[in-house]
Amino acid sequence: MIRKRFVFNGRVQGVGFRYLTRRAADLIGVTGWVRNEADGSVTLEIQGTEEQVDGVMLALKHMIIKRGRYVRIESIDEEEVPLVADETGFKTRF
């Protein structure tokens, strides 16, 4: 199991990005959360196997191509963070 934090910069708020992220996470079956930040970025933390984390990112890419025509990702910062014990499900934080 791993947990990664991704910070997406660009046009990622107000364009359905968190919705697509949650769909990708639910599809793959990881735990974690997604949240809009005050600086206009979106933070995503996901926990699962390395294959699941990679799967979420791939599914998200495909969903953006298909349905996220207003989403414009300019950069993604990525880091591994400590696991969260007993986390259940995937949530959208506000």
- Give the rounded percent of residues in the chain with a pLDDT score beyond 90: 96
The residue annotated as part of the active site, out of 18, 35, 67, 93, is 18
Q: Single out the catalytic residue among 23, 36, 69, 93.
A: 36
pLDDT of residue 58: 97
Domains present along the chain, CATH in parentheses: 2-76 (3.30.70.100)
Q: How far apart are CA 49 and CA 70, in angstroms?
A: 30
How large is the average pLDDT for residues 74-80? 98
pLDDT by residue (tens digit) across 1-40? Answer: 999 999 999 999 999 999 999 999 999 999 999 999 999 9
Q: 69 falls in which pLDDT band (50, 70, 90)?
A: confident
- Half-sphere exposure (Cβ direction) of 71: Cα atoms closer than 13 Å: 22
Catalytic residue list contains 36:
yes
Q: Catalytic site residue 18?
A: yes
Q: How far apart are CA 28 and CA 23, in angstroms?
A: 9
Q: What local confidence, expressed as pLDDT, does residue 67 receive?
A: 85
DSSP at 15: S
